[in-house]
């Protein structure tokens, strides 16, 4: 499968996921997050220990989807909160990966042919 074909599938799945999150996380806003990173951004993140120099964001095959608690007007920081969305995401395609399967990255959703998250 080519990278463009994967991106096409990823974006289709992403549309389904966002809609699912809007319906299942009542009281929260699903807001835009980081989709694409430059190689320089990926290196800086890796140097700071908050990402990978080989991030799927470089290939537009990963996105971070933050959520905001409407009542508290606060960003959700608990990775476990995203578990239902992560499990749903993984059910959409065998190459979908969820960042919550590693500690602390619950709002990260990706598609990977080689198992990277």
Task: Give the pLDDT confidence of 4-44 residue by residue, as tens digits.
Answer: 999 999 999 999 999 999 999 999 999 988 899 899 988 89
For 46, the 3-state DSSP assignment is: helix
pLDDT of residue 18: 98
Residue 84 within any structural domain of the chain: yes
Q: What is the pLDDT of residues 59-92, one digit of tens each?
A: 999 999 999 999 999 999 999 999 999 999 999 9
The DSSP letter of residue 66 is: -
Domain that holds residue 74: 3-31+61-111
3-class DSSP assignment, residue 5:
helix
Q: pTM here?
A: 0.92
Domain count across the chain: 1
Q: Is 18 domain-assigned?
A: yes
- 10 CB burial (10 A radius; 0-12, 13-18, 19+): buried
**pLDDT at residue 53, as a whole number:** 78
């Amino acid at each position: 499968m080519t990278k463009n074909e994967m991106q096409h599938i990823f974006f289709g799945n992403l549309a389904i996921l966002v809609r699912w999150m809007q319906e299942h996380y009542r009281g929260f806003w699903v807001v835009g997050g980081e989709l694409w990173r430059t190689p320089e951004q990926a290196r800086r993140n890796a140097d700071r220990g908050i990402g990978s120099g080989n991030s799927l964001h470089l290939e537009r095959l990963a996105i971070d989807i933050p959520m905001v608690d409407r009542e508290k007007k606060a960003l959700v920081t608990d990775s476990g909160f995203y578990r239902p969305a992560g499990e749903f995401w993984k059910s959409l395609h065998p190459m979908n990966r969820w960042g919550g399967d590693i500690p602390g990255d619950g709002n990260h959703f990706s598609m990977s042919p080689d198992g990277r998250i």
